[in-house]
Amino acid sequence: MATSRYINYKLRPAKHIVRKMLIEILRRLSHYHLIEKYKYIGFGAWYFTDFYHFHKYLGIHDMISIERDNGTKERYEFNKPFGCIKIIFEESNSVLPGLEWDNKSILWLDYDKKISDKVIYDVEQFCRHAISGSLILISLNVDVKNGNNVKQYLDKNLDKESRPNWENEEYYEKGTFNVLCHQIITNKIIKQLRLKTPLGKKLNYKQLCNFIYEDGAKMMTFGGIIYSDEESKIIEGCEFEKLDFVKTDHTELKNEVLPSISHYKIKVPNLTHKEIKHINNQLPIDEVKEINQHKIPISDLENYIKIYRYYPAFTDVNI
């Protein structure tokens, strides 16, 4: 769960952009099922930022926040923005198996930590209990200071059944840690869904996002939807792929080969309000070179144009 005592989750620009992009993805579910009828389960922390946005912009009102900080229950209850949020003060490993999963759900396992057996357990619980149409999102810290420690970390924190049985050291280099985490969890999702055939119906998994971003530490948020074969055409009708930040490609680890998995990298440029207004007045545009650059670095222009519709606007106001 979130370390809300040390991090103000409202003021992380890259995470703010991820949240807005997720909302746009989730809106497309309305072709399949009314999004306001979903149950949302997450880790609210004291700020409940995700809960605020999912209720305000998606209309979801069946909401559960899982919090492990038992010492400040009153503070959590005081800060929750809406009365429809139910707070459960336990570890997610204890809470998830006991929840009612008879409704389509969105579970956001929004960790600020790295992959571990506890993370895998939560993923497994979702796959075992969630019904068709439910979504799972996982956020993980994938920051690695020393690539040589990756294999050592995985050996220490993951059960043998979950971790890769590889000898090739290049798979454990710094640049591949996010791919390893992605593949380990994706494998677990696919495996668990194969074991689960409610009423003889096979369940599939379609990935919808794979974001890489930094607000300090390198983070990854990825996940997707589970659905039956009979619902394939309806899922296609959601047209998720029309959003350029949707990444649906995923595969299983086979023959000890690390696949190439695409992700959407969010880089937030540092621009002044005047520079942002200057760029916005010229958007949308097909080619970056058509913009009046006005001394703004081209890399900042390119990064901003990709995310300008989701770019946060923080200001100092008296409320």
CATH number at residue 17: 3.40.50.150
CA 298, CA 37: separation in Å to the nearest integer?
43
Residues 304 and 260 in one domain: no
Residues 108 and 86 in one domain: yes
Does 15 fall in a domain? yes
Does 4 fall in a domain? no
Q: Supply the DSSP string of 54-106, one letter for each residue.
A: HHHHH---EEEEEE--GGGHHHHHHH-SSTTEEEEES-HHHHGGGS--SS-EE
Residues 301 and 230 in one domain: no
**Which positions ≥6 away from 103 have C-beta within 8 Å?**
37, 38, 39, 62, 131
Structural domain boundaries, residue 115 = 9-266
Check residue 5 and give its pLDDT: 44
Tell me the per-residue pLDDT of 238-253, one tens digit each, with 9 for 90 and over. Answer: 999 999 999 997 665 5
Q: How many domains does the chain have?
A: 2
Does 319 fall in a domain? no
As a whole number, mean pLDDT of residues 254-276 equals 82
CB 143 within 8 A of CB 217: yes
CB 89 within 8 A of CB 119: no
pLDDT at 64 over 80: yes
Residues 91 and 237 in one domain: yes
Residues 226 and 289 in one domain: no
Instruction: Output the CA torsion sign for 85, 87, 93, 96.
Output: negative
Does 260 fall in a domain? yes
Q: What is the pTM of this model?
A: 0.91
pLDDT at 187 over 50: yes
